[in-house]
Amino acid sequence: MVINLCAIFQLSQFFYCVKIKTMNTSAKYEILKTFYGYDSFRDGQEALIDHLLAGQDVCGIMPTGAGKSLCYQVPGLVFDGITLVISPLISLMKDQVRALNQMGVHAAYLNSSLTFGQYKKALAFAREGRYKIIYVAPERLLTDEFLDFAIHAPIDLVAVDEAHCVSQWGQDFRPSYLKIPEFLSKLAHRPAVGAFTATATRTVREDIIRMLELCDPFTTVTGFDRQNLYFEVRHDKDKYKGIVNYLIKHRDQSGVIYCATRKNVEEVCEKLLSDGFAATRYHAGLSDQERQANQEAFTYDEAPIMVATNAFGMGIDKSNVRFVLHYNMPKNMESYYQEAGRAGRDGAKADCILFYSGQDVITNQFFIESDRENEELTGEALEQVRHQDRERLKKMTYYCHTTDCLRDYMLRYFGEYGSSYCGNCSNCLQSFETIDITQIANDLIGCTLTSGMRFGINTILDTLRGSKNDKIRRSDLDENHFYGSCCAETIVFLRQVCNHLIQNDYLTVTDDQYPILRVKEKGLTFFAQTGDFRPVLTMKAARKDGGTEADVSNRNAAGTHSPSAKTGKSSAASASPFETLRSLRTAIARKNHVPPYLVFSDKTLEAMCVMLPQTKEEMLTVPGVGELKFQKYGKEFLQVCRELAREDEF
Ligand code: ADP
Ligand code: MG
């Protein structure tokens, strides 16, 4: 039945669509450049936009930060008529409408945050056709006033954002999403419908298509890898101290600290405040008012550190979240990836660091065994759910212990193939490095051979290190050719190399009461090879500096927050170019009462630092600077960029 209706509807729309299609192919690029200041579409965006422009339904499944909004906003701006966006949260709507207004697009939201008078006025404006894009809460759709407007309005597109809210399987189920098809059926003319979500599970995806009654939708699922995110797991004894150390090194940045319980949120937030950090908190136990106020403070960077439970979620559209720290390990990888994924939506580098402790496993086990959420589930079904939860907890725990590439582990979990080395997680970057052990292997094998293969590992290693102990002297090992050749290495490291050579069949130890180190054939061959014929031997080893923190902060300094391509010469005492631009952004944001990241994103500021544009034309080539934003803020930023370039010349 649904399919038949769809077919008739599609036929009736055919001519209408052809008209739009021919008109619009180049329009989308123009809009992308003029309004958003971007030159190209990201993975998945263009196909979704094209299908919407052709009047077809679409379903876009893309990770957080991939740029779903643009997929319905661009067609919205191409179409002559109005685009309705159904969105579940007031804060999301406000944020998006603010962003659109910043870009010079007339947009509005209709939800319960408006007084009755404001609501009527907004609807009147909508009737006059003043808004291109209107965000609406699902509860409003079937109300008399709204329907009366919608039935008579030229609606070309309905976008359902956070479409997983229609599914009872997700944690964000919103019954009013189920009313969307009824609303669509009341419209004079069924518009194209686009559904968007970051939830990838099959059940949820099928639910979206079925419950929203999408007509043969074009569906896109883009890869889940977010290359700008750095992943790390830490096992600090004192987690709070670890977090404070991180925050000290990232003083001016904004981020979220997730805790498992309200109590932890309270404790961590209170301690941070007393230690002088501008933190705020969010959990389900706070009043609506406080939650809203705290979220705003976070959005406007007044309290750049948010300490929260997982109740703080969908509402975060803030693009300059530079870190997501987990004070506790979440219950499964799905939750972790979703929460961590709130970092770096602007595409600039961001850190996702999980502070693990064994206690987190116990807490989660307790939650699983005592969870009463699924009250309708009985004996066997309940046990099955718990079994699954336990399995997922196990995989989350493995993540915290693996020495493999963390990104690879995650992508494999979500059914994708990663490479075993991403170069941007703690395991790839810090814990391990590949080192050349050719010379040490040579000396170890050489010493074992030339001393007659009569000694155990300890004696050989002592010889290499140039020890003066009795045994060495008594055995004349201090006269061995290799005596002291590895005196710069630690005994622990030499033992690792020795173990590596044993594991790889270069050496072996006998089974005797006093095990003797012997050279095997492979070792003999290696030792006999010289010059170009000798292969380079490598081994993965824990970094000797053991340093995680230093590396992370260096990496950030170099990569993210002090781009210095043109500015290497500026004096160390003065603020970095990024800081200078950021201060300007803060001042402008205050004056205009908008969150700083809506003036320009961190990524745009970074690009400005590197490009230091000197003219309007150059400024317009900076990603994220569109014509309309330039008119608003461009001149002030241009002025500062010119000054920075001059400073640079000295
Ligand atoms: P999502 O809803 O998928 O989580 P958003 O729509 O909020 O993501 O977009 C995240 C960020 O990506 C925004 O800052 C947006 O401006 C940026 N973005 C979207 N599309 C592009 C693009 N084609 N080029 C550069 N940045 C983009
Ligand atoms: Mg979104």
Alpha carbon nearest to ligand 1 atom 2, residue: 68
Q: Verify whether ligand 1 is closer than 6 Å to residue 317 (CB atom).
A: yes
Q: Verify whether ligand 1 is closer than 6 Å to residue 138 (CB atom).
A: no
Fold (CATH) for 562-649 = DNA polymerase; domain 1 (1.10.150)
Residue 480 is given by DSSP the state: S
CA of 67 to the centre of ligand 2 (A): 7
The answer to whether 362 touches 424, Cβ cutoff 8 Å, is no
**pLDDT of res. 97:** 94
Instruction: Write out the residue limits of the CATH 3.40.50.300 domain(s) in the chain.
Output: 2-221, 229-429
The pLDDT tens digits for 176-207 are 999 999 999 999 999 999 999 987 677 788 89
Q: Verify whether ligand 1 is closer than 6 Å to residue 344 (CB atom).
A: no
**pLDDT of res. 323:** 98
Please state the atom number of ligand 1 nearest to the C-alpha of residue 161: 2
Question: Model confidence at 515, in pLDDT bands (50, 70, 90)?
Answer: confident
Place of tokens 């003797």: 516
Class of domain 2-221: alpha beta
Per DSSP, the three-state class of 330 is coil
The pLDDT tens digits for 259-287 are 999 999 999 999 999 999 999 999 989 99
Whether 168 has a pLDDT exceeding 80, the answer reads no
**pLDDT of res. 170:** 61
Q: Verify whether ligand 1 is closer than 6 Å to residue 68 (CB atom).
A: yes
**pLDDT of res. 520:** 95
Q: How far apart are CA 370 and CA 380, in angstroms?
A: 16
Instruction: Write out the residue limits of the CATH 1.10.150.80 domain(s) in the chain.
Output: 562-649
Please state the atom number of ligand 1 nearest to the C-alpha of residue 601: 14
Ligand nearest, relative to CA of residue 342: 1
Question: Model confidence at 534, in pLDDT bands (50, 70, 90)?
Answer: confident
Q: Verify whether ligand 1 is closer than 6 Å to residue 42 (CB atom).
A: yes
**pLDDT of res. 377:** 63
Q: How far apart are CA 551 and CA 526, in angstroms?
A: 35
Which is higher by pLDDT, 53 or 389?
53
CA of 62 to the centre of ligand 1 (A): 11
Please state the atom number of ligand 1 nearest to the C-alpha of residue 317: 7
Q: Verify whether ligand 1 is closer than 6 Å to residue 62 (CB atom).
A: yes
Question: For the residues 428-445, what does the mean pLDDT come to?
Answer: 85
Alpha carbon nearest to ligand 1 atom 5, residue: 67
Ligand nearest, relative to CA of residue 64: 1
Alpha carbon nearest to ligand 1 atom 11, residue: 346
**pLDDT of res. 429:** 81
Q: Verify whether ligand 1 is closer than 6 Å to residue 319 (CB atom).
A: yes
Question: For the residues 235-253, what does the mean pLDDT come to?
Answer: 94
Ligand nearest, relative to CA of residue 345: 1
Element (H, E) at 519: strand 517-519
Whether 334 has a pLDDT exceeding 90, the answer reads no
Q: How far apart are CA 558 and CA 442, in angstroms?
A: 37
Please state the atom number of ligand 1 nearest to the C-alpha of residue 96: 7
Provide the percentage of residues in the chain whose pLDDT is more than 90.
60
Whether 294 has a pLDDT exceeding 90, the answer reads yes
Provide the percentage of residues in the chain whose pLDDT is more than 70.
87
**pLDDT of res. 546:** 43
Whether 174 has a pLDDT exceeding 50, the answer reads yes
Place of tokens 């998006």: 96
Question: Model confidence at 6, in pLDDT bands (50, 70, 90)?
Answer: very low
Question: For the residues 443-460, what does the mean pLDDT come to?
Answer: 95
Q: Name the residue of 58, 93, 345 to mutate for ligand 1: max ligand atoms within 8 A of Cβ.
A: 345
Question: Model confidence at 647, in pLDDT bands (50, 70, 90)?
Answer: confident
Q: Verify whether ligand 1 is closer than 6 Å to residue 67 (CB atom).
A: yes
Class of domain 435-541: mainly alpha
Query: What angle (nearest 5°) sits at the alpha carbon of residue 186, between those of residues 181 and 191?
Result: 70
State the amino acid at position 156 in one-letter form. Answer: D
With CA atoms as reference, report the closest residue to 430 among 560, 552, 558. Answer: 552
**pLDDT of res. 504:** 82
Q: Verify whether ligand 1 is closer than 6 Å to residue 72 (CB atom).
A: no
- pTM (2 d.p.): 0.66
The answer to whether 431 touches 532, Cβ cutoff 8 Å, is no
Question: Model confidence at 9, in pLDDT bands (50, 70, 90)?
Answer: very low
Q: Verify whether ligand 1 is closer than 6 Å to residue 20 (CB atom).
A: no
Q: How far apart are CA 599 and CA 586, in angstroms?
A: 9
Average pLDDT, the chain: 86
Ligand nearest, relative to CA of residue 161: 2
Place of tokens 């077919």: 7
CA of 200 to the centre of ligand 2 (A): 14
Alpha carbon nearest to ligand 1 atom 12, residue: 67
Whether 148 has a pLDDT exceeding 80, the answer reads yes
The pLDDT tens digits for 335-380 are 899 899 999 998 899 999 999 998 999 999 988 888 655 555 677 7
Whether 20 has a pLDDT exceeding 50, the answer reads no
Q: Name the residue of 30, 36, 342 to mutate for ligand 1: max ligand atoms within 8 A of Cβ.
A: 36
Q: Name the residue of 70, 220, 346 to mutate for ligand 1: max ligand atoms within 8 A of Cβ.
A: 70
Alpha carbon nearest to ligand 1 atom 13, residue: 346
With CA atoms as reference, report the closest residue to 107 among 86, 84, 78. Answer: 84
Ligand nearest, relative to CA of residue 66: 1
Ligand nearest, relative to CA of residue 63: 1
Instruction: Write out the residue limits of the CATH 1.10.10.10 domain(s) in the chain.
Output: 435-541
Whether 13 has a pLDDT exceeding 60, the answer reads no
The pLDDT tens digits for 50-108 are 999 999 999 999 988 889 999 999 999 999 999 999 998 887 898 899 999 999 999 99
The pLDDT tens digits for 124-133 are 999 999 999 9
**The CATH number of domain 229-429 is 3.40.50.300:** yes
List, as ranges, residues with CB under 5 A of the ion ligand 2: 68
Whether 1 has a pLDDT exceeding 60, the answer reads no
Please state the atom number of ligand 1 nearest to the C-alpha of residue 597: 14
Whether 11 has a pLDDT exceeding 90, the answer reads no
**pLDDT of res. 203:** 78
The answer to whether 57 touches 214, Cβ cutoff 8 Å, is yes
Positive/negative CA dihedral, 363, 352, 295, 146: negative
DSSP string, 390-447: HHHHHHHHHHHH--S-HHHHHHHHTT----S--SSBHIIIIIEEEEE-HHHHHHHHHH
